[in-house]
Structure formats: C-alpha cells, structure tokens
Amino acid sequence: MKKIYLLLFTFIISILSFTDNVVNIYTTRHYNDVDNLIFKEFEKETGIKVNVVLQNNDANLVIQKIKSEGKLTEADVFLNVGFAELYMAKKAGILQKITDKTILNNVPTNFRDTENYYTGISYRARVIVYNPDKVKKEELSTYEDLANAKWKGRILTRSGSSSYNKHLISFMIAKNGEKKTLEWAKKLVSNFARTPQGNDRDQAVAVYDGIGDIAIMNTYYIGKLINDKDAKKSAAGKKLKIFFPNQNDGGTHINIAGAGITKYSKNRENAIKFIRFLTDKKAQEMITNMNYEYPVNPKAELNGLVKSFGTFKPSKISFDNMSKHYSKTVIITGESDWK
Ligand code: FE2
C-alpha cells in the first residue's frame, strides 16, 4: 500500500514540476520581433516555457506592481530598457543578486550593476547623426559642443521627457554637474531646428528632409532605418553618417537593456537559465543581428552593419552614478523648456 502512495506522490510531483516548467516575465521592452524569437529559441532548447505575463512601457508601473504583489508576484524576471529604471527596481528592493557564475562570466563588469542586482543584455550608444552634405565630421566633437551657437537652428532631437534623453541628461549631470548641465540644456534647446516631435527615427528622416543638419539618436535606429521597407526611411538611414561624441573626453554615452531576477521568484532556477541564455553567444547574436544593438558578451560576433558604424570608446561613468541624477532631469528639461 505504502508503495502505491509513494508512486502516486512521485507522479503528482512530476506533473506539478512539468506544469511548473516556466519562467514568467514582466517586461517594458518594445522589441517584440527579436524578443519573441529569442523566447521561442529558449523554449526549444530548454523545454522551459516563457510567459510574458506583463508588458508595459511604463517601468515605474511595472516596478510598483512587482513591489505591491510582494511574495505573491508571478514575476521571475524583470526585463527593461534603461539603466535608471533597473536601478529603480534595485532600490525598490524587488530584485535579488545574480550570483550565477555563467551569467557573470558572460557579461563584463561594466555592463552589470555594481552589486549584480541586474545585468545588461545589450547596449546602445546615443550618438550624433549628420547629413554629410551639410556637416563635416571635423565640425563635430562633443555633446557639450551642441550648445555652441554655430548649431543655431540645426539640431533635431525628440522630447526631453523621453527616457533616452533623460538618460543622456543623467549622464551629463554625472559628468558635469547639475548647474553646467542646465546651462548646456538651455543653449542646446535654443539651437533646435524645431520643437521636439516624434521618435528617434523621425529625427533622422527630418535631417534627410533638410529640416535640420544633425540629430541626437540611438545607433540601432540607423540599422533599423537602413532595413526599413519604406524607401524614404531606408534612404535616410543610408545617407546619414554616425558620429560618436566625446571620444577624447570620457567616451560616448551608452545605455543598456537589462534583466534582473525578482526577489520572490518562484522559478529561480529557470530565471537563471533564461538569463544565461540571454547573455550567451546565440541570443546575443540574435540581438545584434535583428535589433542592431551591441552585444554585452564579447564572444558574440557583432552584426556587419553595426560593425560598419565604426569602433568607439564608451563612457565609463557607472550606471549607479548616472541613475542617482535621473529624477533631476525633469528640472533640467522644465527649466530649459526642452519640450
Ligand atoms: Fe528604442
């Protein structure tokens, strides 16, 4: 009789563990094409089902949700674009330290949290793109130089309330202090070719259309434009040149997309396996080949087009340091009238 019970017990446990073979994701990322393919590939390799339980652009909302759910949260992994939000998640106490050796080996320290509460899975540079008919490479130098009166009416960038520009401003505050950054922002805004509108790609198209001569934008959008089915967008991507600012002054501002394991993850082993996969060569190459981002794992081969953008020195200012200034960016954009 005991034997039957034991068998029954083992059977129930195996059923439970089978249905439990999942990893639950809360994500703020907006790159469904590449993410879904990576999730499928992970499922195929491991048999672990990836459930996207929540997808929302508002990182604050996602972090608060995980926090309020506490021990009952379904989330195993928090996926996000932007170091400031990953830092916010760490500070909210919703993440646990990543101690897995494979993950830590996959990702160099400069692309991870100082305390390993999150790891980067890719990075991108916020660069200056220019119309080579209007601007010579030698005229470009630093983000700081964009405050120079020579750029009057020539600069395009999106809203100061966009996460990408807020990250850039955080970088500027960490580098030059709040006072100098405000002065810089005021002059930058006075050089705008138009009131900010649209996303990064729209700025590139506007440079192509002659509305301005240079734009501040993320590198991967040039890759996306070149490969866009829309003939004009593709022409804009091919026409514009990329300039990596501050190569002789601390390096170009970079941002990461990253992942963290939630503090109360119920599928912790699967979460570890998932992040191992994300940071391993195969997924890393999918990210660079489909999204034109830079892989964080140096073993991954860089996409050919991304390689053609040229090599550059990224800034070494820590994500913690920049993130601490993120809340001040609202003051900078408000006082400089960066709409
Ligand atoms: Fe983006």
Q: Give 309-334 pLDDT, tens digit per residue.
A: 999 999 999 999 999 999 999 999 99
Structure confidence at residue 31 (pLDDT): 81
Structure confidence at residue 32 (pLDDT): 84
- In the reported structure, the alpha carbon of residue 15 is separated from the centroid of ligand 1 by a whole-number distance in angstroms of 40
- In the reported structure, the alpha carbon of residue 81 is separated from the centroid of ligand 1 by a whole-number distance in angstroms of 8
- In the reported structure, the alpha carbon of residue 67 is separated from the centroid of ligand 1 by a whole-number distance in angstroms of 25
- In the reported structure, the alpha carbon of residue 266 is separated from the centroid of ligand 1 by a whole-number distance in angstroms of 30
The residue type at 321: N
Following DSSP, what letter does each residue of 150-182 receive, concatenated?
GGTTTEE---TTSHHHHHHHHHHHHHH-HHHHH
- In the reported structure, the alpha carbon of residue 11 is separated from the centroid of ligand 1 by a whole-number distance in angstroms of 46
- In the reported structure, the alpha carbon of residue 199 is separated from the centroid of ligand 1 by a whole-number distance in angstroms of 9
Report the alpha-carbon distance of residue 103 to residue 185 in Å, rounded.
38
Residue 5: CB atoms within 10 A of its CB come to: 9
Report the alpha-carbon distance of residue 164 to residue 126 in Å, rounded.
8
Report the alpha-carbon distance of residue 318 to residue 296 in Å, rounded.
15
Report the alpha-carbon distance of residue 97 to residue 134 in Å, rounded.
49
- In the reported structure, the alpha carbon of residue 163 is separated from the centroid of ligand 1 by a whole-number distance in angstroms of 9
Residue owning tokens 């990064």 = 200
Residue owning tokens 């601007």 = 135
The 10s digit of each residue's pLDDT in 61-85 is: 999 999 999 999 999 999 999 999 9
Report the alpha-carbon distance of residue 131 to residue 249 in Å, rounded.
24
- In the reported structure, the alpha carbon of residue 16 is separated from the centroid of ligand 1 by a whole-number distance in angstroms of 39
Structure confidence at residue 17 (pLDDT): 47
- In the reported structure, the alpha carbon of residue 283 is separated from the centroid of ligand 1 by a whole-number distance in angstroms of 18
Per-residue DSSP letter, 198: S
Structure confidence at residue 331 (pLDDT): 98
Structure confidence at residue 5 (pLDDT): 65
Report the alpha-carbon distance of residue 299 to residue 20 in Å, rounded.
32
- In the reported structure, the alpha carbon of residue 1 is separated from the centroid of ligand 1 by a whole-number distance in angstroms of 61
Low-confidence ranges of the chain (pLDDT < 70): 1-19
Following DSSP, what letter does each residue of 42-81 receive, concatenated?
HHHHH-PEEEEEEE-S-HHHHHHHHHHHGGG---SEEEEE
- In the reported structure, the alpha carbon of residue 122 is separated from the centroid of ligand 1 by a whole-number distance in angstroms of 12
pTM over 0.75: yes
Structure confidence at residue 30 (pLDDT): 82
- In the reported structure, the alpha carbon of residue 257 is separated from the centroid of ligand 1 by a whole-number distance in angstroms of 10
**Cα dist from 228 to 76, 236, 317, whole Å:** 34, 10, 34
With residue 83 as reference, give the H or E element that holds it.
helix 83-91
Report the alpha-carbon distance of residue 145 to residue 336 in Å, rounded.
17
